[in-house]
Chains A and B, each alone.
Chain A
Amino acid sequence: QVQLQESGPGLVKPSQTLSLTCIVSGDSVSRGTYYWSWLRQPAGKGLEWIGRVHSTGSTDYNASLKSRVAISVDRSNNQISLRLTSVTAADTAVYYCSTGNYYTDFLYWGQGALVTVSS
């Protein structure tokens, strides 16, 4: 069973960089042909896909965030990383990492990490 756990600072100042890590257990980030995604959800609102990284390291990003986001694979520590630069209050949300299989992108989810952007 794949388990995902997001970790990182819960508070980030405006204009700074948000950095989160998704620790993967029960599987390898180098697994097969599947993707590892980051998503976010502002309080009381819907889900937004931020982007994903393939086990090979190739990435796809949501164009709405593409200029500010980077997702990478850390094979030595079996984890996925998210960096979002120049944050504003609009980036305040619960951030999730998720992965899937051949029939879905989002089968396994972390519990989510609340990140608040505030001075």
Chain B
Amino acid sequence: DIVMTQSPDSLAVSLGERATINCKSSQSVFHSANNKNRLAWFQQKPGQPPKLLIYWASFRESGVPDRFSGSGSETDFTLTISSLQAEDVAVYYCQQYCTTPLTFGGGTKVEI
């Protein structure tokens, strides 16, 4: 199984400041079939299902504010919130979809 490790477990960021979340996979999630990293980022607020933010490591899902960006390749990835807003308080998960079982990181709680 590909183990996804996120850091930090939680972070507190002031409004308008940058938040950076890291995700490391135990194996490369680069898929040669389409030259893409099969890595997604999700946001989950209390009582709600996760919401897709980023796919293929750096592609923003339709409707997601451009303050959210993803980067990285192979085994090391980053989700950046460039200017934290109050509505961004949530838990963020990375997820690999390169091989089954599909696996998630343990989550990073972002607070103000």
Q: Chain B residues near A37 (CB, 8 Å)?
A: 102
Count of residues in A whose CB is under 8 Å from the partner chain: 21
Which residues from 33 to 86 on chain A have a C-beta closer than 8 Å to any C-beta of chain B? Answer: 37, 46-49, 52, 60, 62-64
Please state if A46 and B107 are interface contacts (CB–CB under 8 Å): yes
What is the interface of chain A, defined by CB distance below 8 A to chain B? Answer: 37, 46-49, 52, 60, 62-64, 96, 98, 103-107, 109-112
Q: Known contacts A46-B93, A46-B106, A46-B107: does B52 contact A104 (CB below 8 Å)?
A: yes
Counting chain B residues whose Cβ lies within 8 A of the other chain, the interface size class is: 20 to 34
CB distance from A34 to the nearest CB of B (A): 12
Q: Known contacts A47-B50, A96-B49, A111-B49: does B101 contact A106 (CB below 8 Å)?
A: no
Can you pick out 5 interface pairs between chain A and chain B where the beta carbons lie within 8 Å of each other? A46-B106, A47-B93, A106-B40, A106-B52, A111-B49
In the complex, A62→B77 CA distance in Å? 24
Which residue of chain A lies nearest to B42 when distances are taken between CB atoms in the complex? A106
Please state if A109 and B49 are interface contacts (CB–CB under 8 Å): yes
Q: Chain A residues near B51 (CB, 8 Å)?
A: 109
B68 at the interface (CB under 8 A from A): no
